[in-house]
Structure 1
């Protein structure tokens, strides 16, 4: 760099020399006035590393996520005093004040306390992944079983007319017959309009069972050709 400045001075005179010198300091100053924050995030009770923890400086809008070993690194942190925050679902948020010097690396470790009582309801949806209930853009309906006083013959009766946008259409008046579940009407012309059904995190069949008749006839046998898999669940077990 010094050799370049000397060449500029010799070839172009003092005016261009001082201009080049000023530009070198202008460009180098922001790079020199930056530091690095690094550290490790663990569970305060078990000491196990926590992966995927968001460690950030809110005032600057910069941050990083911890790796599988709980390590994180935030590069290009401006010189000065900053508040570093670590946040993770199921744990209390922790913050520390850190002084960052030019060209230095500061180590900041976090030991997060679990907070199961403060955890919001968590849902796994087909569009947003795992998220807090209040952060899900989809409509979420909840039925409190303790408030259902009327006796229910099956699970479909328990869901019927209790969640906005959920429509259960009866297919037959025969005993054991199931209904057709629709969420806010039909959404496809060629594909199935049945919703995805998960019970305790396990996906179950949502379409009706195949017709319970032999291929040669007896189409009315048993009158339960559209029995619903949901009705296999005892309402008293919910």
Structure 2
């Protein structure tokens, strides 16, 4: 398998966990020309207001999409992991309304937007897959809006930790109970709309309740039902069931 194809494979595997692709459609995606890029920690991949001509697929690492104010304050809207096409909407939207930034050393491939559109036009199964992928992103954004707008500090943090666990589990980086937190507490704070101090206090409260245990960045969920109850966590919004068949 070529370097290009191996870089694209994580996304194919993600799509096929939801619904198998035809051999022809699979081969067509893996044959797309791509540009492989490496980034350091906290490096910008895309800035708000830019006009991207390529979509970004994460091969390794963790990135976020965010909105920022003129004074520099930042609200993280979502985290993305290996196998995620972070800005698939760039194939349709000509101006980036969110920024993309790394949180760890990251490898990503950039795919020409026209190639994405051509693939969707030629293969309806890819059009459905791309459409479903953007709908899952939108569902996550809606859940994060509820998280920041209506849940308490402890509930927000608990919910985000459970989401991170679920999404890492889907790519083999968590067993559903234990995982290495791929972002800092300051990053968590930017995602849940709290100060770093308040975020830390919320984690300590969850530890004292016995729901979870932490050691450095290692997180162990000791009592999943209790933590899920605190967060009102229901992974339905991640749509693991896949698209309508």
Q: Same fold (TM over 0.5)?
A: no
- Structure that is richer in strand per residue: 1
Indicate the structure whose relative CO is greater, using CA pairs within 8 Å and at least 6 residues apart.
2
- Structure that is richer in helix per residue: 2
**What is the TM-score of this pair, normalised by structure 2?**
0.20
